[in-house]
Amino acid sequence: MKLLFKQRLFSWLDSYDIYDEHEHTIYSVNGKLSFGHCLDIYQNDQKVGRLKEVVLTLKPQFEMFIQDEYVGCIKKQITIFKPKFVLDCNDWTVEGNWLEWNYQIKDRHGVVIADISKDIYHLTDTYVLDIVKPENALYVLMIVLAIDAQKCSEYH
């Protein structure tokens, strides 16, 4: 399953649209005014998840919610050359390249869950998500949102 993750150009808060291969909107993401990033995820106009930044921590952390139920946390690891994130809810790891444009999500056995690549030829942040199993799409989306939010906080 491939998804295209695009940040909206004109928006006061973080907002994104996520499309399938046929350019149908699968998810929409709207930022909320809060201390730290808070992103609500919608599918067919119904809230299906939330990603909330944990502030005042040594390393960037984001709590994940499906509906309104806490399911886990994404934490950035301290590394030298390649960014790395871990999820405490399903033992997935996320490793990026040194440019922080491409990422790979793997389970604890090294099996690839998804490949994420940044498309640099757009005015806004745009990623291509190549997800092996469609049932993992919401988790993969939350990971990409966390990566993008962390990079936004780090460089601004």
Q: What number is the average pLDDT over the span 60-86?
A: 93
CATH code that applies to domain 2-155: 3.20.90.10
pLDDT at 155 over 60: no
pLDDT value, residue 126: 86
> Model-level pTM greater than 0.75?
yes
Q: Tell me which of 90 and 151 has the higher pLDDT.
A: 90
> Tens digits of per-residue pLDDT, 126-136?
899 999 999 99
Helix residue ranges, H only, 6-132: none
For residue 144, give the nearest of 13, 14, 46 by alpha carbon: 14
> Tens digits of per-residue pLDDT, 11-64?
567 789 999 999 899 999 999 888 889 999 999 999 999 999 999 888 889 999
